[in-house]
Structures are given as structure tokens and as C-alpha cells.
Structure 1
Amino acid sequence: MRIKSTIAALAFATVAGVSTVAAGTASAGPLGTYYATYPSLYSCRADGESSYTGGYYWECVENWDGWDLYIWY
């Protein structure tokens, strides 16, 4: 039953927007919350590192129209 409880907790955390990165889950793409699109990597990174965004982990992903910032809370 402990395995089922752990799987259910991870599924709930993913749906609720809680960071599952700390739980050691790997992903093929960004699963964080989309925050914004930036024209340059520098501006995306600046917002990712800002304490204003409030995430535990952030990632800038290059897109056809700039850089998308994803944040895990």
C-alpha cells in the first residue's frame, strides 16, 4: 500500500503544481508552470533568478519566438 500512496501523492503534486523535481522524477520536457516568453536568454534568466518569481526551480526553453520561462513551485 505504501507504493500506491506514494504514486497517488506524486500524481496529486503534479496536478496541484507542486514541485516534483525534488522527488527525483525525470521528464522529457518542461512540466513546470509557464510564466512568460522573453526575447533573449538573458532576460529570461534574470526573471528566473529573481526572488519575485518565487519558484524552487526554473528553466528557460528556447522557442520559435523567444525564450519561455517555466517555474516549479
Structure 2
Amino acid sequence: MRIKNTIAAGLLALATVAGVSTVAAGTASAAPAGTYYGTYATLAACRADGESPYTGGYYWECVENWDGWDLYIWY
């Protein structure tokens, strides 16, 4: 009986951790809070504009979208 309780406790702990990981992953995939700058066909083009001093942002992020890569900038 002790083995069954130990296995059940382990499975419950694993399910709890998996639930937290799923919630965290869902939160991480939400749209960025930065200012939308533009959509690019390739990641390289998005990254080049994000790294450019012309954009003037302190932080940038390229997010893959159904039609390309969206560039978000935080000022």
C-alpha cells in the first residue's frame, strides 16, 4: 500500500508541475507589449531592422506570425 501512495503522490506532483508549465507557456505566447514596428518576410530582415540604430528602441523582439515576422520595439 505504501508503494501505491508514493506513486500516486509522485504522479500528482508531476501533474501539478506540468499544469504550471502549461500556464507559463500560455502566458509566454501572448502578444508582446511593445510597439508594433512592422512585418518582415524573413527573420533575418526583422532582426536587421531590430538591431538598426535607426529604430531607436532599447529592446526589440521578432515574433513569428502567419504572414511573416512582426517586429516589436520598446522605447
With structure 2 as the length reference, what TM-score do the two structures score? 0.60
Cα deviation digits, residues 1-27 of structure 1 (max 9, x gap): xxxxxxxxxxxxxxxxxxxxxxxxx99
**Structure 2: which 5+ residue stretches go unaligned?**
1-27
Counterparts of 2:53 and 2:66, CA distance in 1: 27
Q: Which has the higher helix share?
A: 2
Q: 1:71: which partner in 2?
A: 73
Bigger Rg, which one? 2
SS of structure 1 residue aligned to 2:47: helix
From 43, 46, 49, the equivalent of 1:44 is: 46
Instruction: State the aligned residue count.
Output: 48
Counterparts of 2:66 and 2:46, CA distance in 1: 14
Moved over 3 A (4+): 26-29
**1:63 to partner: Cα distance:** 0.1
Counterparts of 1:39 and 1:48, CA distance in 2: 14
Q: Percent identity?
A: 83
**Structure 1: which 5+ residue stretches go unaligned?**
1-25
Counterparts of 2:58 and 2:51, CA distance in 1: 10
- For the aligned residue pairs, the C-alpha RMSD in angstroms reads 1.7
Taking CA–CA contacts closer than 8 Å with sequence separation of 6 or more, which of the two structures ends up with the larger relative contact order?
1
With structure 1 as the length reference, what TM-score do the two structures score? 0.61
